[in-house]
Amino acid sequence: MADALPVPPSEQELPTTRLLSGTQKCAILMLLLGEDEASEILKNLSPREVQQLGSAMYSVAEVDQETVNLVLDEFLSIIKAQTSIGLGADTYIRRMLIKALGEDKAGSVLTRITPSSSAHGIEILQWMDARSIAEMIESEHPQIIGLIIAHLDYAVAADVLVLLPDDKQAEVLHRIATLDSVQPEAIEQLEKVMQLQFQANTSLRASKIGGVKAAAKIMNFTQSATESRIMRNLVKINKDLMTDIQENMFVFENLTAVDDKNLGVLMRNIEPEDLAIALKGADERLRDKILGCMSARAAASIIDEMEAKGPMRVTEVQEAQKRIIAVARKLSDAGTMVLAGRGDDYV
């Protein structure tokens, strides 16, 4: 019988999966997935299927490890047969990504993940802590350092940048901000520098990395004092580039992504006059959001002050916005508030 009841674990009679029904095998996999992933699967089942699977999960909750391993092996065998893992997986993955992302985006992703084309050394870096990475690359040329850091997650990249010698930080940021695309030959050279194996693939497309926006996101993760020091040094190298990076960092419009609680913290720490000026250059959505997290009396006072000031120069409005963002970053650095949108929700 396909849905025979399981033999109690206490009797130790589950050396194979033959005594388990298909539902019970699925239940074991569900228990291995974790709450979030399992709940997503349950959302797509009918009420009757949920009841059956839930009951089965209770019935297999204490199966032995050998049985779990056998179920996993069977599952992997089925998946391998259906997806051709190990037998043409490259074609399958490529088609899947193109369908999901479109050809251009899929091509960019594939240059980073395919075994024949991705830089193995860079992949390994993703598993290393920032200090180890910094110590490994600090003696390299700023161009090589910038290339490596540009491949890292922004939070890790910021930590690595801060751990580099002070006299290199601005130059490295300059290199990151001026990166556009990296040809396969440069990736090969990077692998040689890191003394790791790399298998060249002449069909590789250029990888899109770095750029001003990447440099700005990295700087969003740095402390305000560190940012100021690096920017002071960068302006000596390229003033226009420094300005571009600053303009792409956390800006006044990003406050739209900040929740009301944290926005309220910010409002209590800024000058009302600065807010009245800054809101003159804000879009209606942000203006309503900020005024909405204030008391009706305080909001009315800000509106009155905005009207009383009349037309103002754009530069004055921008300066007021920068002063507010400076306060926000200090509060964020101190852990007093969270700036969603500055980096990856946390700074």
Could you tell me if 140 and 181 lie in one domain?
Answer: yes
Q: Which long-range contacts (CB under 8 A, 24 or more apart) does 104-108 make?
A: 107/205, 108/205, 108/207, 108/208
Angstrom CA distances, 121 to 29, 151, 163, 216, stand at 33, 11, 20, 25
Task: Give the residue numbers spanning the domain of 168.
Answer: 120-228
CATH classification at residue 292: 1.10.220.30
CATH classification at residue 30: 1.10.220
Could you tell me if 175 and 224 lie in one domain?
Answer: yes
Count the domains in the chain.
3
Q: Pick from 61, 83, 105: which residue ends a domain? A: 83
What DSSP line would sit under 253-287, residue for residue?
GGGGGS-HHHHHHHHTTS-HHHHHHHGGGS-HHHH
What is the distance between the alpha carbons of residues 10 and 37, in angstroms, rounded to a whole number?
A: 29
Q: pLDDT truncated to tens, each residue of the chain (347 aa)?
A: 344 444 444 334 434 556 788 888 888 888 887 777 878 888 887 777 888 888 888 888 788 888 888 888 887 777 655 554 444 455 666 666 677 766 666 665 655 555 444 445 566 666 567 887 888 788 888 888 888 888 888 878 888 898 999 889 999 999 888 887 666 666 666 666 555 433 333 333 344 556 887 888 788 777 767 878 888 899 899 988 888 887 777 778 888 888 888 888 999 999 999 999 999 888 888 899 999 888 899 899 999 999 888 888 888 888 888 889 888 888 887 888 887 654 434 33
Could you tell me if 211 and 265 lie in one domain?
Answer: no
Could you tell me if 220 and 144 lie in one domain?
Answer: yes
Q: Which residues pair with 208 in a beta bridge?
A: 181
- Helix axes of 224-237 and 166-177: crossing angle, nearest 10 degrees: 70
pTM score > 0.85 for this model? no
> Is residue 316 one of the residues assigned to a domain?
yes
> Is residue 181 one of the residues assigned to a domain?
yes
Region label for 210, one of left (φ > 0), alpha (ψ between -120 and 50) or beta (otherwise): left
> Is residue 284 one of the residues assigned to a domain?
yes
Could you tell me if 134 and 173 lie in one domain?
Answer: yes
Give me the amino acid identity at 330: K
